[in-house]
């Protein structure tokens, strides 16, 4: 059991917000990092201003690391400041397929460089590589970049639960978890389930993966080739319970 302050980066975002709430519910001491603090337990921190990370990390024992900026230098800056501050453990949010090659390109090289830096950091570490988030279906309209191909869509609450387990115990040190839900579903299939739960259709707009940020292209084309139609047992291994189904997520979170 690790006692002391937890720093949750990406605390205003999808998984960071959930990790913060789970830790608070356990009575842990938590600081949420954001570029625009609004809550009493927020702290200012911006990866583009490494000096700001020093204050954010003061007294911190473990960090939930979300960069979401597609820039491994940001992870390196956080890791350097964390080592300086005496942090003992990092749990990093990466993504499934990171480091695989597709059509001659490496998928998500920024995640790859950052994951390797975390593993080489000398700190305790866990890397979480989730599949597509169920919460992507909360966009209006839903943007579908993966056609009819299926993915092991995951409830971000499960990602957060694994993160909290990894932050608060030694049991997950040195683990790389590929986190998926219990089933593979395409975006249209997810929209159909969500529409059924809401009692009205969920609008979906198809988008061309070649028209988005080129850095996403290899990963999207890999998924379009059906390579992400994968279910793992890593949530069950980490939590001792199965992952949430998409329908359960839709009923508990997506019903508006
Ligand atoms: N969506 C998916 O299906 C999916 C699947 C697998 C993996 N992922 C990975 O998940 C990550 C995103 O995680 P998420 O969805 O939990 O987060 P998110 O909702 O995208 O939120 C991003 C967070 O990053 C913070 N941030 C942005 N720029 C920053 C900066 N310069 N300095 C400090 N903080 C900064 C934002 O905080 P402020 O704006 O408050 O500063 C915000 O809290 C990405 O790395 C993505 O590759 C996503």
State which of 68, 136, 157 you would mutate to test the pocket of ligand 1, scoring each by most atoms of that ligand within 8 A of its C-beta.
68
d(CA 9, CA 45): 8
In sequence order, what DSSP letters do the residues of 168-232 get, joined into one string?
A: H-STTTTEEEEE--SS-B-HHHHHHHHHHHHTS---EEE--GGGS-GGGHHHHHHHHTTTT----
32, 43 Cβ separation under 8 angstroms: yes
Number of domains in the chain: 1
Task: Give the nearest ligand 1 atom to 133 CA.
Answer: 3
pTM: 0.98
Closest residue CA from atom 19 of ligand 1:
13
Instruction: Report the nearest atom of ligand 1 relative to the CA of 35.
Output: 41
- Residue 199 CA to ligand 1 center (angstroms) comes to 31
In the reported structure, the alpha carbon of residue 16 is separated from the centroid of ligand 1 by a whole-number distance in angstroms of 8
Parent domain of 149: 5-252
Residues with CB under 6 A from ligand 1: 10-16, 34-36, 45-48, 66, 68-69, 93, 95, 130, 132-133, 136
Q: Domain holding 247: CATH number? A: 3.40.50.720
Q: What are phi and psi of 174, to 5 degrees?
A: 75, 15
Pocket test for ligand 1, best of 7, 9, 11, 13 (most atoms within 8 A of CB): 13
Nearest atom (ligand 1) to Cα of 45: 33
Distance 15 CA to ligand 1 centre (A): 8
Q: Which helix (H) or strand (E) holds 234?
A: helix 234-239
CA 166 to centroid of ligand 1, rounded, Å: 19
How does pLDDT run along the chain (256 residues), one tens digit per residue? 555 899 999 999 999 999 999 999 999 999 999 999 999 999 999 999 999 999 999 999 999 999 999 999 999 999 999 999 999 999 999 999 999 999 999 999 999 999 999 999 999 999 999 999 999 999 999 999 999 999 999 999 999 999 999 999 999 999 999 999 999 999 999 999 999 999 999 999 999 988 889 999 999 999 999 999 999 999 999 999 999 999 999 999 998 7
Q: By CB neighbour count within 10 A (0-12 exposed, 13-18 middle, 19+ buried), where does 80 fall?
A: middle
Q: Which residue owns the Cα nearest ligand 1 atom 25?
A: 10
Q: Which residue has the tokens 């994951």?
A: 115
Chain-centroid distance of CA 166 in Å reads: 13
């Amino acid at each position: 059991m690790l006692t002391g302050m937890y720093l949750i980066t990406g605390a205003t975002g999808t998984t960071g917000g959930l990790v913060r709430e789970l830790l608070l519910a356990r009575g842990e001491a938590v600081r949420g990092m954001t570029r625009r603090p609004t809550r009493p337990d927020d702290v200012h921190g911006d990866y583009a201003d490494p000096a700001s990370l020093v204050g954010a990390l003061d007294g911190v024992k473990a960090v939930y690391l979300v960069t979401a900026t597609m820039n491994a230098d940001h992870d390196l800056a956080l890791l350097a400041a964390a080592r300086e501050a005496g942090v003992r453990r990092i749990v990093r949010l990466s993504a499934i397929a990171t480091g695989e090659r597709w059509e001659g390109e490496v998928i998500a090289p920024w995640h790859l460089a950052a994951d390797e830096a975390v593993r080489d950091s000398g700190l305790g570490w866990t890397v979480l590589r989730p599949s597509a988030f169920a919460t992507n279906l909360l966009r209006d309209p839903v943007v579908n970049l993966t056609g009819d191909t299926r993915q092991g869509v995951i409830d971000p609450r499960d990602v957060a639960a694994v993160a909290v387990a990894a932050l608060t115990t030694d049991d997950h040190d040195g683990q790389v978890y590929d986190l998926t839900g219990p089933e593979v579903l395409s975006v249209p299939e997810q929209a159909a389930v969500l529409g059924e739960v809401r009692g009205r259709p969920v609008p979906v707009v198809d988008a061309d993966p070649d028209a988005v940020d080129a850095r996403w292209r290899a990963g999207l084309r890999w998924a379009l080739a059906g390579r992400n139609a994968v279910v793992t047992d890593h949530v069950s291994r980490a939590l001792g319970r199965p992952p949430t189904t998409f329908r359960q997520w839709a009923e508990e979170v997506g019903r508006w």
